[in-house]
Amino acid sequence: MSLELAFAKATELISDQNNFVRAVLSGRRRNMQTEYERIDIRPVQLKDGLRLQLILSEEKQDTTKNIGIDADKILELLNSGYANVLVEFTTGSYSLRITKKGEALIHEAKGVFERSVSHDRTKERLLDASDPFLIEVGISDHKGSIKPSMQDKYRQVEEFLRILEPALPEKKEKLSIVDLGCGHAYLTFATHQYLRKSGIDAHVIGIDVRENSRDRNNAIAKKLGITDSIEFRAEEISETKIESADIAIALHACDTATDDAIAWGVQHGVQLLLIAPCCHHDLQVQIQDIPEPWPMLTRHGIMRERLGDLLTDSFRTQILKLLGYRVDAIEFVGGEHTPRNLMIRATKTGAKPEPVDIARYKEMLAQWNVNPALAQRLAKELGAI
């Protein structure tokens, strides 16, 4: 189907005042920029009639506005640079993915979706507060309500799932996920429960160097009756025996453990990496001869530390780009919830690096006279470009 006809079909479904449930625009088409990271569309009943409510998602906030049900306006949204379009209606769904060549890949499925046009709608949660895992790990109480002291942790779980959802591979009914440095495994369990709830056959492995974490998490999995699809191991990230995964996540793995996680993902051809770095000490100790005019900034301890953080993650994102990943650095959750709120989202495309990107990387290395931990771990891969 041509892109024009695909958009026309999506426009027709969204314009249907009796059956349209919701639509999601996400991802970015090749060589195009989008004003928002994602747009959610749903029908709302206002005093002056039925309208379309747009939730315009940016890194730091969501903005809501209502528009009329106008085919030209809908088509304009569809043409605004998004690579993925999902439309749900009362009797099924229509999924459109635009390839790098600008071709339309269509998937249609039958199903039953509930339609709500209420304007005052509670924000939809991707994982219900009464999920048994949330009760077992102590985020929810025995009644299935979020504990006041765990609101930030629940928000972290929800925000992570909102980042994961649009990044999931299209038409993938079975996924393997590894959580590198899983700790208490809040996000490991959340990912498992969300994917299973979404009808995806997910097998999840969480690894952590601490044996007590492994034992605790396996005990929870056993109590929940999900040991056939989730397991935990006590291993170093750099020495794990896991051979492959579709998705690798590493959230707040300490210092160079983050580099171990990224390196494992690259070397094992993982398609999607979701990495939230933690403390950064590697470059802090390497930065000795400060190039001009940066001494003006680095003579202040706290500013030197933050600059080291930015340099570390900048090298990480650039290395991933050079090795065939499309990379975004995004805010994970608001800074009021955790100071470690940056996430590196990398999707494997296999694209060859541009000469200018290689040159910039080498120039930065020379200017700062550093050898990042990730570059050391991926020296063979970088040497091949």
Same domain flag for 32 and 155? no
Identify the domain containing residue 204 by its residue range.
132-383
Domain final residue pick, 78, 110, 142: 110
Residue 144 has pLDDT above 50, yes or no: yes
Residue count (the chain): 385
How far separated are the first and last CA of the chain, in Å rounded?
37
Distance CA 20, CA 45 (A): 13
Strands 62-67 and 49-57: antiparallel
Domain final residue pick, 42, 75, 110: 110
Distance CA 189, CA 373 (A): 29
Distance CA 182, CA 254 (A): 11
Q: Which of 108-112, 118-122, 197-201 tops mean pLDDT? A: 197-201
Residue 14 has pLDDT above 90, yes or no: yes
How would you label 81-101 residue by residue, b for 16+ Cβ within 10 Å and e otherwise?
A: bbbbbbbbbeebbbbbbbeee
The 10s digit of each residue's pLDDT in 222-279 is 999 999 999 999 999 989 999 999 999 999 888 789 999 999 999 999 999 999 998 7
Within a domain: 374: yes
Same domain flag for 96 and 224? no
pLDDT at 151: 87
Within a domain: 378: yes
Same domain flag for 106 and 137? no
Same domain flag for 301 and 173? yes
Average pLDDT over the chain, rounded to an integer = 89
Strands 247-251 and 62-67: unpaired
Strands (E), 277-375: 325-331, 342-348
Task: Provide the domain count of the chain.
Answer: 2
Distance CA 364, CA 380 (A): 19
| CATH number for 296 | 3.40.50.150
pLDDT at 198: 85
Q: How confident is the model at residue 355 (pLDDT cuts 50, 70, 90)?
A: very high
Same domain flag for 290 and 175? yes
Within a domain: 366: yes
Same domain flag for 151 and 283? yes
Same domain flag for 10 and 98? yes
Same domain flag for 148 and 93? no
Same domain flag for 215 and 179? yes
Same domain flag for 156 and 251? yes
What pTM does this model have? 0.69
Same domain flag for 295 and 230? yes
Within a domain: 117: no
Distance CA 309, CA 283 (A): 8
Within a domain: 241: yes
Within a domain: 119: no
Within a domain: 75: yes
- Which residues are within 8 A (CB) of 359 and not within 5 positions of it... i.e. 6 or more apart? none
pLDDT at 252: 82
Q: How confident is the model at residue 333 (pLDDT cuts 50, 70, 90)?
A: low
Within a domain: 118: no
Same domain flag for 105 and 136? no
